[in-house]
Structure 1
Amino acid sequence: MTDAPTDRVAMNGRRMKLLAIAAGAAIAGLILLAWTQPWFGITLTDATDLEITGEVAAAGLSALAVAALVLVGAISIAGMFFRYLLGSLQALIGVAVILSASLALGNPISASATTISDATGIAGAGPVAALVDSVSVTPWPWVALVAGVLQIVAAAGILATARLWPGSTRKYQAARLTTEGGSPVDDWDALSSGGDPTDDTPTRNQP
């Protein structure tokens, strides 16, 4: 007779695990999407318009998104200890995403300096700032910021529920080459002489 409460706990654990994996993958995808989109519109004093994408304004987001995806894959097969470790790392990635987006939002001109310098041939924080007439901000840096917050929330969910997740099944087991009543040394001797240590056929005495 099955234990109904135990079955319910196991089912809830599986659901929590699937939800955590799906949420982690979706959030990582959102971070990567935000990274590819326009973040700022820069208008220079000569009326030149420049579009600044997340690739320029927050270049590190792509690496953070990939790292988050790798963590999701690792968490899906990790044991108890590593679930907590990887969940903590996921939270740190969320903090890094928030920091990266915040720095860009806090100083759009500095975040856009590379593109401005490429377009004008002028470098240096002061000269570049003097070339900028206006800055417009798209929703995408805010999307990245929210994604970082969601990453931390997802990590907190993993840390809170990891103990309820079902363990990974062991699919493969190592096989030993042994003979009945034999030892590993006997097995190696049989192999070196061309014999098969797994063959149980009795050996006949040669004349």
Structure 2
Amino acid sequence: MKGSRRLKNISLLGAIVLSGLTLLSWTSQWFTLTLGGSEKGHAPLTVTGEAAAPGLVALALAGLALVAALAIAGPVFRAVLGVVQVLIGFTVGLSSILAIGDPIAASTSVVTAATGVSGKESVARLVASYTQTAWPWLAAIIGLLTLALGIFVLVTSRHWPGSSRRYQPAGSEPAEPGANPVSDWDTLSGGSDPTSR
């Protein structure tokens, strides 16, 4: 029992930490762009995860909501939530890899806001160079770890202890005499003594 509770706690704590790290990567600097051409002399532009991978915040919040659901879910629903965790991890990783693969395309919104120039090709012509921080790679690793955690939940969740009694539906346990006054009154009216059961 203690081992199964530990598995559950590890899963819940891991999901909280990874969701928090996803949020942190979303707010961190991913790229720095230097513009050329008619925009030469413009200050370098800082691109955060918010612009490069805007979906990360929604994925992080979904991960936190998933923790709350996992804490009270039954065995079947835990398996469903494990699949959702895998999908969240996959999407976080994919968003990060796409930004790493094409930093200029991922930074288009920032360039457009600073210069008024829109369109992928027009923006690409403006960017003379860019540098990349470690955050996009860290976000990709966080996505991979989140995916692995989802698999861990799928494998171990059937061994977790059940949720506490307060989360179980009413009527899941047989009522004792005196627990339901209306039912006891009906029984007494019918000529039976409800306390004799």
**Does TM, normalized by the shorter one, top 0.5?**
yes
> What does 1:1-207 align with in structure 2 at a 5 Å threshold?
10-45=1-36, 46-48=40-42, 49-171=44-166, 173=170, 176-178=180-182, 180-182=184-186
Identical-residue share of aligned pairs (%): 43
Range moving further from structure 2, 78-87 or 160-169: 160-169
Listed one character per residue, the Cα deviations across residues 72-101 of structure 1 (whole Å, up to 9, x for unaligned) are 110011100011000000000001101111
Deviation at 1:124, TM superposition (A): 1.2
Deviation at 1:123, TM superposition (A): 1.0
Listed one character per residue, the Cα deviations across residues 92-135 of structure 1 (whole Å, up to 9, x for unaligned) are 00011011111111111111111101111111111111110101
Q: Secondary structure at the match of 1:133?
A: strand
CA distance in 1, matches of 2:103, 2:181: 66
CA distance in 1, matches of 2:78, 2:184: 42
Deviation at 1:181, TM superposition (A): 5.0
How high is the TM-score relative to the length of structure 1? 0.80
Which runs of 5 or more structure 1 residues have no equivalent in the other structure? 1-9, 187-207
In structure 1, the residue matched to 2:193 is none
- Letter of the 1:18 counterpart: N
Listed one character per residue, the Cα deviations across residues 5-46 of structure 1 (whole Å, up to 9, x for unaligned) are xxxxx1100000000000010000000000000100000010
- Letter of the 2:22 counterpart: I
Compared CA separation, residues 97 and 182, structure 1 to 2 (3 A): same
* Larger relative helix fraction: 2
- Letter of the 1:167 counterpart: G
Deviation at 1:177, TM superposition (A): 4.1
RMSD over aligned Cα atoms? 1.6
CA distance in 2, matches of 1:142, 1:54: 11
Aligned residues: 175
Deviation at 1:176, TM superposition (A): 3.6
Which runs of 5 or more structure 2 residues have no equivalent in the other structure? 172-178, 190-197
Larger Rg: 1
